[in-house]
């Protein structure tokens, strides 16, 4: 979700049947010892597909492709086109400043997209046949996102403005005045004063209607749909354009906003608001009765209802996301998926309004589903692999798909789940050049007596010999490590280095029912830790080629916390790697920005429930630390601040334990810049090679 990309990571995987205990290896790879396994350079070479947009007639799909530009030390995005049958695939735009967010006009004759060419993010357009792109908006601020009106004539655009100025022109004047100030000090009267990796500066994203000059508008001006003076009004949309939906007639816009004043840092309550696009009346709160997160509003094709994903419990960011449909005539909600113990993702309506397509974590996978809107019946369309972003494409469903040995490509499937077809093959040749580690899913009896799942990945070019172990711990903690091609924690990079890789979806993970996810609350170092150790023991017993004398454990975010907890509870690992992990849960509460997270997880504030923060606190077990540990942290991480990493390194050094501190001043909770990623992998692999595998 947009609010917590770290604690609810986008690393889901794919599985079909709920009761599966063992998933056979996906496919055989070469078994020669000299085979080339995956490296970070292979990851950086992959073309990353996202944002599929199907043409109105269902025959074409536009999508964004990210290429790594090592010289510029960043990713470069371009818009591509493919026929839905896969017969034609071609690049549509090429520009060093990058193009994203393709959207079709209703007649299918034009593609709109966002581009930063010229130094400012604006809306551009181009004919699908190609040719020169044309700039559409010339607004004096960056366009953060856009939606085309159903008639294709106007745009809804997201712009960062000073809400008290009331007009775009006045906000621009304020921008100029602020830029001239010689003092750059910041002063705050309430939380949130910083978020994720950015200091708040008083500006908020608002939604504007932009009208083209030929219809009486101005290319450099727009009308604010969500004006407001304070955070007590629903004027500040929450999340990206995925949280914005236009009615089929274009008269009403639905958007998600957070309503609150001084409690913004400790409430999860977001609501869906409806506003007249013509500027009549005030915004209406559609989901006022819901006190948890409400996300992803989507109008039905006939415009008579809106589907929303909704969490029932306030203050909990990982509650089950039910699909709720609101009748717009009565404003009454109906929960469609009450009987489905999974959390729905983004929503796509069928043309007749009878079916909703979505995806969800499901037993170590991220599956694609069809939901009968009338009765709530759930049908699995694609179970294995990671399957996301379903889109209507004629009589088929187009979606993005990846696995542990294949980066994202576009696929289609029949609406009954049959006849899976691959549309794009951008990475086929790159994939063929790598020997991937074979993998399989396994299960064992977990800490609470129920079935827990994990994966094992064999070393690339597996010969049957004993292999050192890389034991990966996922973040969240309400997340999942599964059949997914990850660009920050890809198990294949360790398999390519000769390691057998093990990862476990411990209690607290998503995709196994809400009770399983809820189980981690107040028990961070309890059942999850025991699941991890039981799962590792089960893997060692089942796969005798795993060498229990040469093991390293690695994790980030909650996984980093767990590495610090492991350090105080066992010395079975020869090396540890802790990325952005808390060492002190008490102080971490005061360091972080979104307070609802620790308050839910630890049962209140540190002063009201100190025992909740003390029960599983790594800092209290430093006396037991003895394992060589690599500490990594980002300087712009406001979720888990870098002083937590500095504290862990200080403790290690003071105790005389082999340790190293790797600090990225230009990274947040993640390491995103290509050259930083290369260094990260070199450091991590070098550390575990030395201390776990015994390599010189």
For residue range 431-482, what is the model confidence (pLDDT) as tens digits?
999 999 999 999 999 999 999 999 999 999 999 999 999 999 999 999 999 9
578 phi/psi in degrees, rounded to 5 = -115, 110
Indicate whether 10 pLDDT > 90. Answer: no
Six token digits for residue 323:
């699909």
Question: Over the stretch 124-163, which tens digit does the pLDDT of each residue have?
Answer: 999 999 999 999 999 999 999 999 999 999 999 999 999 8
Per-residue buried b or exposed e for 387-408, using 16+ beta carbons within 10 Å of the residue's own CB: bbbbbbbeebbbbbbbbbbbbb
The angle at the Cα of 255, spanning 222 to 297, to the nearest 5 degrees, equals 140
β 500-505/575-579 pair status: unpaired
- Asked whether 381 and 419 are in contact (CB, 8 A), the reply is no
Provide mean pLDDT across the span 563-571. Answer: 98
- Asked whether 1 and 476 are in contact (CB, 8 A), the reply is no
Sheet with 575-579, side-by-side order of all strands = 439-445, 451-457, 500-505, 467-473, 546-556, 575-579, 629-634, 659-664
- Asked whether 684 and 630 are in contact (CB, 8 A), the reply is yes
Task: State the average pLDDT for the chain.
Answer: 93
Give the residue from 175, 203, 173, 200 showing the smallest Cα distance to 187: 200
Long-range residue pairs from 601-605, CB within 8 A, at least 24 positions apart, any chain = 601/520, 601/521, 601/522, 601/524, 602/522, 602/524, 603/521, 603/522
Model confidence pTM above 0.85: yes
Right CATH for 336-426 from 2.40.10, 3.40.50, 3.30.310, 1.10.1610 = 2.40.10
β 629-634/332-335 pair status: unpaired
Confidence tier at 9 by pLDDT (50, 70, 90): very low
**Architecture of the domain spanning 431-693:** 3-Layer(aba) Sandwich (3.40)
Question: Over the stretch 188-218, which tens digit does the pLDDT of each residue have?
Answer: 999 989 999 999 999 989 999 999 999 999 9
Indicate whether 7 pLDDT > 50. Answer: no
Instruction: Evaluate whether 336-426 and 431-693 have a shared fold.
Output: no
CA separation, residue 209 to residues 47, 519, 670 (Å): 34, 45, 34
What does the domain layout of the chain look like in residue ranges? 336-426, 431-693
């Amino acid at each position: 979700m947009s609010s917590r990309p770290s604690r609810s990571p986008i690393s889901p995987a794919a599985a079909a049947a709920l009761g599966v205990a063992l998933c056979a290896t996906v496919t055989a790879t070469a078994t020669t010892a000299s085979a080339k396994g995956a490296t970070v350079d292979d990851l950086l070479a992959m073309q990353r597909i996202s944002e599929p947009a199907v043409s109105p007639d269902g025959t074409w799909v536009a999508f964004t492709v990210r290429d790594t530009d090592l010289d510029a030390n960043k990713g470069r995005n371009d818009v591509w086109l493919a026929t839905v049958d896969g017969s034609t695939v071609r690049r549509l735009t090429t520009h060093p400043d990058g193009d994203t967010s393709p959207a079709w006009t209703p007649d299918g004759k034009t593609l709109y997209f966002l581009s930063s060419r010229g130094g400012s993010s604006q809306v551009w357009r181009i004919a699908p046949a190609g040719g020169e792109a044309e700039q559409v908006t010339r607004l004096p601020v960056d366009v953060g996102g856009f939606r085309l009106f159903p008639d294709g004539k106007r745009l809804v655009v997201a712009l960062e403005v000073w809400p008290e100025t009331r007009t775009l022109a006045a906000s621009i004047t304020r921008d100029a005045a602020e830029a001239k100030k010689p003092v750059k000090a910041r002063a705050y009267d309430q939380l949130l004063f910083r978020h994720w990796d950015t200091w708040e500066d008083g500006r908020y994203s608002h939604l504007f209607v932009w009208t083209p000059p030929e219809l009486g508008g101005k290319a450099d001006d727009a009308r604010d749909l969500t004006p407001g003076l304070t955070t007590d009004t629903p004027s500040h949309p929450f999340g990206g354009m995925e949280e914005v939906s236009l009615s089929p007639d274009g008269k009403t816009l639905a958007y998600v906003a957070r309503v609150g004043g001084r409690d913004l840092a400790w409430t999860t309550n977001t609501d869906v608001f409806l506003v007249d696009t013509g500027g009549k009346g005030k915004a209406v709160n559609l989901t006022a009765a819901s006190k948890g997160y409400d996300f992803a509003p989507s109008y039905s094709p006939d415009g008579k209802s809106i589907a929303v994903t909704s969490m029932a419990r306030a203050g909990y960011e990982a509650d089950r996301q039910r699909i709720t449909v609101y009748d717009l005539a009565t404003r009454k909600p109906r929960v469609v998926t009450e009987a489905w113990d999974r959390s729905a993702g983004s929503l796509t309506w069928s043309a007749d309004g009878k079916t909703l397509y979505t995806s969800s974590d499901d037993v170590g996978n991220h599956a694609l589903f069809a939901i009968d809107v009338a009765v709530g019946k759930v049908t699995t369309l694609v179970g294995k692999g990671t399957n996301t972003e379903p889109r209507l494409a004629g009589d088929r469903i187009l979606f993005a798909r990846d696995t542990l040995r294949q980066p994202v490509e576009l696929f289609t499937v029949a609406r009954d789940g049959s006849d899976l077809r691959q549309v794009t093959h951008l990475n086929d040749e790159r994939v063929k050049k790598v020997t991937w580690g074979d993998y399989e899913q396994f299960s064992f009896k977990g800490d609470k007596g129920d079935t827990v799942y994990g994966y094992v990945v064999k070393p690339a070019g597996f010969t049957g010999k004993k292999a050192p172990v890389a034991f990966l711990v996922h973040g969240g903690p309400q997340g999942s490590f599964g059949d997914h091609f990850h660009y920050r924690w890809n198990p294949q990079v360790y398999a390519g280095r000769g390691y057998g890789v093990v990862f476990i979806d411990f209690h607290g993970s998503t995709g196994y029912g809400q009770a399983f996810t809820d189980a981690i609350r107040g028990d961070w170092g309890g059942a999850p830790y025991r699941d991890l150790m039981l799962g590792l023991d089960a893997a060692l017993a089942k796969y005798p080629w795993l060498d229990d004398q040469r093991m390293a454990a690695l994790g980030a975010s909650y996984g980093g916390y767990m590495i610090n907890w492991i350090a105080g509870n066992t010395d079975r690992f020869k090396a540890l790697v802790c990325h952005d992990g808390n060492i002190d849960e008490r102080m971490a509460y005061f360091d972080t920005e979104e307070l609802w997270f620790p308050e839910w997880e630890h049962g209140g504030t540190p002063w009201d429930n100190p025992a909740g923060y003390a029960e599983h606190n790594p800092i209290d077990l430093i006396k037991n630390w003895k394992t060589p540990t690599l500490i990594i942290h980002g300087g712009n991480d406001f979720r888990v601040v870098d002083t937590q990493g500095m504290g862990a390194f200080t403790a290690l050094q003071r105790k005389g334990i082999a340790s190293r501190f790797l600090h990225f001043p230009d990274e947040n909770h993640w390491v995103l810049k290509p050259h930083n990623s290369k260094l990260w992998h070199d450091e991590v692999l070098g550390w575990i090679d030395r201390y776990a595998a015994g390599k010189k």
